């Protein structure tokens, strides 16, 4: 790439690599320095990564643990130097990496806020102006902020770290699993703030193991594998390739173990105590509206979902996945994707997804059901691998689904040659 001058690319990486040195003994460092010979083994966490992220784009970063994702974000944030390659990032950068990792344990919360703000380039006067909104977002009073952060719970530590990191209005936001920290209430606040950055046209690089969130938020994505660029491009294409790779890695024993279906028709997941809406029942219904575990292909069917509204008026969406018993996703939808507004109710809610002429062919299937926030991204509650049911088709039906079709045959057609 020769586009370092292109201002519409606030993030540009050219052939970036990062190696870590490992020594068998501490003295080998000195021997290497004196003798000018290598006494280390090199581990390449990144190998030749090149990418361009457009202004206002939300770009996804996916891969297994140890693939190099966090290393890449740290290189981009400037907390570590690349071994080779070039990086250009325009504008102010805010990084949500290891939240609170730069805090001094002996200093108070207030003192750490000022220290971190100074590292971000803010003067003491500017930090004084930001301090009230930082404290409010972190939901920490002055008594707590006067204490050394070593006395904080993990939740308090994370809230303060996130509040400081997002108190500025950055041009580029680097996010590493920030939506999986803290309790559900704080996760929702974090998501709203990130969505605010995204909606205001900021450039966001979003790293997550949650493929649904990556699909929902990102226009393009990069899949890192062992430090290498395995795939880059349209989010759906990259995520689909990554998921196919994950399925291929699974041994038959692992697939069988994960495919065990719950007994009974519904077993809800353990929702967090702060969940504003929870699943209380899910059922597969036949054409008569009766609960069923056996359905006929092309029969009218439906799925009934009952939700307990813990916080009256809280807006939420619903999502449903139909899976084959080998965990292959056959169908997925959400109320948001189907153009419906968020559900808002004061009391418990029952929603029915109608599936007219259900076209699945013979096989064993199960459901995954989710209660999502008003952005249809944050998971409030979920139940996976539930409501096992069997489909039966006539003997000529083979495959996964039956498609509407017809034949047109012309007999004794004249030869036009």
Residue-level pLDDT at 170: 84
Average confidence score pLDDT of the chain: 86
- The pLDDT > 90 percentage for the chain reads 51
Q: Could you tell me which residues come within 8 angstroms of residue 6 by beta carbon, excluding any fewer than 6 positions away?
A: 12, 52
Provide mean pLDDT across the span 45-58. 94
172-176 and 40-53 as β-strands: parallel, antiparallel, unpaired? unpaired
If DSSP codes are grouped into helix, strand and coil, which group holds residue 95?
Answer: strand
Q: Which two tokens stand for residue 284?
A: 């597969």
Is 90 exceeded by the pLDDT of residue 341?
yes
- The pLDDT > 70 percentage for the chain reads 89
Q: Name the helix (H) or strand (E) containing 309.
A: strand 301-309
Is 70 exceeded by the pLDDT of residue 5?
no
| Alpha-carbon gap, residue 46 to 93, rounded angstroms | 21
Domain 11-248, CATH: 3.40.50.300
Q: Cite the DSSP H helix spans in 93-229.
A: 109-119, 124-138, 142-145, 154-165, 184-199, 211-217
User: Domain locations in the chain?
Assistant: 11-248, 277-392
> Lowest-confidence range among 133-137, 273-277, 286-290, 365-369?
273-277
Q: Name the helix (H) or strand (E) containing 347.
A: none
Is 50 exceeded by the pLDDT of residue 254?
no
Is 90 exceeded by the pLDDT of residue 158?
no
Class of domain 277-392: mainly beta
Residue-level pLDDT at 257: 40
The answer to whether 377 and 213 have CB atoms below 8 angstroms apart is yes
Band of pLDDT at residue 3, cut at 50, 70 and 90: very low
Provide mean pLDDT across the span 262-277. 56
Provide mean pLDDT across the span 119-146. 90
Residue-level pLDDT at 153: 85
Is 80 exceeded by the pLDDT of residue 322?
yes
Provide mean pLDDT across the span 383-402. 85
| Alpha-carbon gap, residue 245 to 242, rounded angstroms | 5
pLDDT tens for 362-384 read 999 999 999 999 999 988 999 99
């Amino acid at each position: 790439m020769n586009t370092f001058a292109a201002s519409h690319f606030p993030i540009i990486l050219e052939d970036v690599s990062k190696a870590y040195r490992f020594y068998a003994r501490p003295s080998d460092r000195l021997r290497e320095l004196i003798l000018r010979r290598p006494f280390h083994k090199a581990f390449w966490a990144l190998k030749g990564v090149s990418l361009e992220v457009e202004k206002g784009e939300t770009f996804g970063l996916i891969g297994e643990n140890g693939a190099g994702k966090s290393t890449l974000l740290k290189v981009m944030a400037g907390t570590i130097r690349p071994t080779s390659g070039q990086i250009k990032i325009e504008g102010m950068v805010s990084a949500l990496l290891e939240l609170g990792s730069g805090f001094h344990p002996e200093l108070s919360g207030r003192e750490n806020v000022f220290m971190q703000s100074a590292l971000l380039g803010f003067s003491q006067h500017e930090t004084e102006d930001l301090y009230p909104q930082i404290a409010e977002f972190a939901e920490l009073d002055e008594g707590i902020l006067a204490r050394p952060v070593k006395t904080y719970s993990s939740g308090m530590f994370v809230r303060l770290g996130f509040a400081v990191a997002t108190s500025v209005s950055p041009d580029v936001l680097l996010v590493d699993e920030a939506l999986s920290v803290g309790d559900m209430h704080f996760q929702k606040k974090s998501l709203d703030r990130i969505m605010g950055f995204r909606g205001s046209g900021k450039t966001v690089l979003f790293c997550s193991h949650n493929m649904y969130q990556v699909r929902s938020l990102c226009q393009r994505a990069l899949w890192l594998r062992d430090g290498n660029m395995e795939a880059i491009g349209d989010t759906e294409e990259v995520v689909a390739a990554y998921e196919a790779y994950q399925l291929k890695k699974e041994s038959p024993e692992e697939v069988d173990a994960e495919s065990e279906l719950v007994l009974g028709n519904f077993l809800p997941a353990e929702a967090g105590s702060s969940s504003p809406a929870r699943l209380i029942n899910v059922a597969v219904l036949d054409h008569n509206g009766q609960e069923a575990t056996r359905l006929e292909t092309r029969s009218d069917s439906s799925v009934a979902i009952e939700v307990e509204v813990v916080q009256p008026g809280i807006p939420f969406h619903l999502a449903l996945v139909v899976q084959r018993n080998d965990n292959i996703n056959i169908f997925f939808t959400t109320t948001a994707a189907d153009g419906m507004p968020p559900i808002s109710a004061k009391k418990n809610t029952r929603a029915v997804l109608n599936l007219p002429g259900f076209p699945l062919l013979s096989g064993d299937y199960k459901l995954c059901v989710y209660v999502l926030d008003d952005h249809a991204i944050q998971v409030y509650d979920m139940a996976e691998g539930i409501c096992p049911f069997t489909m039966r088709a006539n003997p000529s039906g083979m495959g996964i689904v039956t498609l509407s079709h017809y034949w047109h045959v012309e007999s004794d057609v004249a030869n036009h040659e």
